[in-house]
Amino acid sequence: MTRFSLEGRIAMVTGCNKGLGQGIAVALAEAGADIVGVNRSGADATRVEVEALGRRYDNVEAELDRDRAEDIVARALERTGRLDILINNAGMIRRAPALEFTVADWDSVIDVNLKAVFFLSQQVARHWLERKSPGRIVNIASMLSFQGGIRVPSYTASKSGVLGLTRLLANEWAAHGITVNAIAPGYMATDNTQPLRDDPQRSAEILGRIPAGRWGTPEDLAGAAIFLCSDASSYVNGHTLAVDGGWLAR
């Protein structure tokens, strides 16, 4: 259906060199979007997949916890001329008991997972207001946007913040034709969950609670990402969509 098409649109996706970000970037390309990735290094594998679909891929190398959002967006616009979609996917995690957690681990996670999300969104929204054009922002939240978790205090704080920030930005920018939503992935088979999957007891506990009975994959986010970036979701705003195999229902 054409209302799910992203033909002619340009999506900026952070952290798309692998994992969930790569899966989302490829899904948006399948729906017709050109992609500009923001990564700490090259994203050759993503480029190959996107270009194989007949779409354009540009890469902006940047450190989200160091480079200014204004500069990142300006560099992206130099390559593409405009942006229509922003996917705030890049994230990091640090694990340690709350009593032992360090300032450095707190700051590094908050800077990437929450601070960069806000300031990239701010810069892209300014671009849309200058163009007087609508836009789509999709943030990547987490199960820990809804739950506390253990041994990941800064990650939980950041992802809880993403849920709240998604609502606030939706409230402020809806009148300008900008929607701001989020996807909360369940337990996905990514680098971030490798320690959990390597722990037989913890892995069994997690799988035992997921009604679908398996870890999620990047491809599982494709439909949600396309929907929230397309005209099909034009009246969906400030919502965080769980893609979790039923985890929260249990």
pLDDT of the residue at 191? 86
For residue 39, the number of C-alpha atoms closer than 13 Å in the C-beta half-sphere is 21
CA atoms within 13 A on the CB side of 162: 36
For tokens 């390559």, what's the residue?
79
pLDDT digits (tens, 9 = 90+) for 165-180: 999 999 999 999 999 9
Give the predicted TM-score (pTM) of the model: 0.96
Q: How many CB atoms lie within 10 A of CB 178?
A: 22
| pLDDT for position 1 | 58
pLDDT at residue 160 is higher than 90: yes
Going from the C-alpha of 6 to that of each of 10, 93, 174, 195, 230, the distances in angstroms are 8, 31, 20, 36, 6
- As a whole number, mean pLDDT of residues 183-194 equals 93
Summarize the confidence of residues 110-116 as an average pLDDT.
Answer: 98
pLDDT higher than threshold 70 for residue 109: yes
CA distance 88 to 79: 19
Active site residue 57: no
For the chain, percent of residues with pLDDT exceeding 90: 97
Higher pLDDT, 195 or 113: 113
Q: Using CA atoms, how far apart are residues 35 and 57, in angstroms rounded to an integer?
A: 5
Measured at the alpha carbon of residue 142, what is the angle toward residues 112 and 230, in degrees to the nearest 5? 90
> Residue 186's CB: how many other CB atoms inside 10 A?
21
Q: What domains are defined for the chain?
A: 2-243 (3.40.50.720)
Q: Which entry of 57, 155, 187, 235 is annotated as an active-site residue?
A: 155
